Amino acid sequence: MSLRYRKHIRLPDHDYMRGVYFVTTCTYWRKQVFGRIIGTGADARMELTDVGRIVDECWRIIPDHFPHVCLHEMQVMPDHLHAIIELNGVSDNGTVSATPWVATTDAVDGLRKMAKGPARGSLAAIIGAFKSETTRRVNRLNGTPGRSLWQPNYHERVIREYNGERGRIGQYIAENPMHWR
């Protein structure tokens, strides 16, 4: 059996511990499980299902688990989530405190265990923890252990403040329901 190669889409020299990002993550097979759009035009709004409410709640409590994060605009759509997230780096000692979403780092014989995966407190670690927690809660709600909720990976764009990009992206997120198919 051959291993599938998945292209790395992150910038190789970028510090994903700080900065402002426009993030989009989609459901597995783009299944519309988060809700539906009610109304049209300027009156369009998202009506969340129980699954959509879990996603909304888990996104909003990210700063409780990652104190260096500030959340800005966010919109849950039927099959994806758009958000602006700001990372202000980690604590002075280079760590993120442990919470139920962030495991502790143990010392073994005076050496720090090296975890595989993204750096603790990085954008990838935050999105990974969010997707893992929402999947766990949704599977518990539906009685579907092991079922995927999200597509692998996510899309992010570094937001540059100097040219008004943040305002345009925020407006795009806010108006997303009125432009739904």
* pLDDT for the residue numbered 44: 97
3-state secondary structure of 174: helix
* pLDDT for the residue numbered 109: 46
Residue 77 phi, psi dihedral angles, 5° rounding: -115, 175
Strand intervals (E) in 77-137: 80-88, 107-108, 111-112
Q: Give me the residue label for tokens 């345009």.
A: 168
Residues 6+ apart with CB under 8 A from 121: 17, 66, 68, 87, 90, 95, 96, 102
Lowest average pLDDT, out of 129-133, 153-157, 159-163, goes to 159-163
pTM (2 decimals)? 0.83
CATH numbers and ranges of domains, the chain: 18-91+117-179 (3.30.70.1290)
